[in-house]
Each structure stands twice: as structure tokens, then as C-alpha cells.
Amino acid sequence: MAVYTDVTDEALFAFLGQYDLGAVLSFKGIAEGVENSNFLLHCQSGYFILTLYEKRVNPADLPFFIGLMEHLAARSLSCPLPVKRRDGRSLGTLAGRPAAIVTFLDGVSVRKPDARHCGETGRALAQMHLAGHDFGLTRPNRLSLKHWPKLFAASRAHADEVSPGLAREIAAELAFLQRHWPSDLPQGVIHADLFPDNVFFIGEKLSGLIDFYFACNDSLAYDLAICLNAWCFEPDGAYNVTKGRAMLQGYQSLRPLDAQERRALPVLARGAALRFLLTRLYDWLNVPPGALVRPKNPLEYLGKLRFHQSIDQSGEYGLES
């Protein structure tokens, strides 16, 4: 969470001149989103979020992300809706960066999700998968199986400094996943980063999903495996099967998994754990000087990976037969 870019009044007013939002009443940097700079914008016409896309977002991907939010919102998924400028476009430039304004979404992300939150999240994930079905644009997953070896190579030499034996353990897992990764599961648009930070609730009820900047095309069940990792483990590292069951039930209430997806769940969960282990390991070893964001501990995901390695069949996740 950070505000990276300073925006001058003049630049802001010039940018907002392209919209019909009324006078600016307030403008504050907010501590939300790791990848981009976000500002809360209060105009006469309401509250909005202004996002400046920083280096880690490829500008060529922005039409996919913006278009996806428009597509999903039009299909009643609660997510930020990009606001169009007078010229009909949703993307502009501010302070030298691509920038967009989206509607302000009420809700609070939960730090300690309970089973009900997991159930609601599973259901919303399935809703997103169904709503994304007829989205016209595609974006490859740049953090998929075939990218993991390169990602690993960038950290391998220093991996054992984080945990002795880690390089060998990752190499073995990578070899396993390359042999066993399922290639013929149902595909579609996945969120790919639906952590508790990115799901808003008002009270017990889910109010919306945010941060679609990792969204891409991949196996739908892989997205669910990412969520099981992100939502259903306790702080002590234990898998909470009650939460897992709630999430799987919530998902299947809208989109039942097919037999192949059910069978693949343990290997998908291993892959999802390895993907976050690898990116966190890289970030851990490459903290830029003066960084405002403390990297997340990669070893949390090593623990999750080891848990999934011990799973014999999908029922152990709480998946009903």
C-alpha cells in the first residue's frame, strides 16, 4: 500500500477537465494497492478513485483491465466501474503515467476472514468466471507454469539465504509440476490475485471485488486454488477445512467443478502456492533502496506448498464427493 506519485493541482485540474465530474472538493492519496498510486477524489458528482498506473503495470494491458471492469460491472458483478471522459475514453495520462478514474466502491476488506467470508468470496469468484465468459479481449497469464523457471532462476542463487535447502525444494517441485500440470481444464478470465485485500464487505455481506490488474486467461479452477491458499489457512499455517468447504460450496453454488477440475485441485493448489512463493521470494531478495513497501514473507507460501504436497485427494480440502 503506497502513494508513489505526486500529483500537482494544475495537472489534476487539467486531467479532470476531460471529465464531467463537477468541481473538485477533495483529493487525498490513499494507502491501497501495492502496484499503483491511488487517490480518493471527491467531486460534486460523487466519490471516485483515481489510479495512476506505475511501472509494474504494462500500459498495453490497460485496455484489457479497464474493459474487463466495464464488462463485469455491466453483468452485475460489483466492481469499480471506469468513468468515461467526454471523448468516450476511460484511459488518460496524468503526471506522465496512464491514469483512470473508477467509481468508489464501499466496503471494508477483512483481515481475519471467517467461513462466511470465504463462502461469499467463492460465490463471487464463480460469478466473475461466469460473467467473464463472453469478454472479448484476452491476456495471457505471465505468471503461469511456463514462466516459473525463469522467475526461479532470478532468485535461485540466493534462495538458501532465506531458508536452507529452499533452492533444491523449489527445483523438485517445479519438476513435479511440469510433469503433472493439467492442460485441458475449462479456461476463462481469472482474477489471479483475489486475496482478502481485494474483496470488500459491508458487515457480513460481500460488497465488491477490486484490483483486476493481474487478471488474465487461464484455468478457472486455478483461480479457485489461489483463493484457497489466500483465504483458508490460519496464521499458524494450518489449513482450515471449514473455510475451505465454505469457499468450495460458495463457488460450486454458481459453477460446479467438473470431474477433471476436482481431480486436479491438489496439483493446482501446489502450483498456486509455488507461484506466490516465487514472486515473494524474488521481491524479498530484491527490495529496492528506499522502498516504501515491506515485502511479504515468502516462507508463508512454502508452508502452504508443503501442506498441498501431503494431500492425497481433493476431499481433504472440503470438496464434497
Q: Is 42 in the site for a copy of itself (CB under 8 A)?
A: yes
Q: Is 236 in the site for a copy of itself (CB under 8 A)?
A: no
Options 5, 18, 30, 147; binder of a copy of itself; rule CB under 8 A? 30
Shortest approach of a copy of itself to residue 185 CB, angstroms? Answer: 35
Are 298 and 201 a contacting pair, CB within 8 Å?
Answer: no
Q: Is 28 in the site for a copy of itself (CB under 8 A)?
A: yes
Complex with a copy of itself: residue 40 or 254, whichever CB lies closer: 40
Q: Is 297 in the site for a copy of itself (CB under 8 A)?
A: no
Are 117 and 244 a contacting pair, CB within 8 Å?
Answer: no
Q: Is 195 in the site for a copy of itself (CB under 8 A)?
A: no
The residue type at 116: R
Instruction: Using alpha carbons, list the distances in angstroms from residue 181 to 168, 187, 217, 315.
Output: 20, 14, 16, 19
Residue in 214, 190, 192 with CA at minimum distance from that of residue 56: 214
Q: Which stretch binds a copy of itself (CB under 8 A): 107-115, 182-190, 228-236, 276-284?
A: 107-115
The residue type at 276: F
Shortest approach of a copy of itself to residue 13 CB, angstroms? Answer: 9
Q: Is 108 in the site for a copy of itself (CB under 8 A)?
A: yes
User: Alpha-carbon distance 194 to 132, whole Å?
Assistant: 15
Options 20, 292, 297, 313; binder of a copy of itself; rule CB under 8 A? 292
* 46-52 vs 37-43, strand pairing mode: antiparallel
- What are the grid coordinates assigned to 10, written together? 494544475
Residues in CB range of 302: below 8 A, 6 or more apart: 163, 166, 169, 277
Shortest approach of a copy of itself to residue 130 CB, angstroms? Answer: 27
Residues that bind a copy of itself (CB under 8 A): 1, 3, 8-10, 23-32, 40, 42, 104, 106-108, 110-112, 200, 202-203, 292
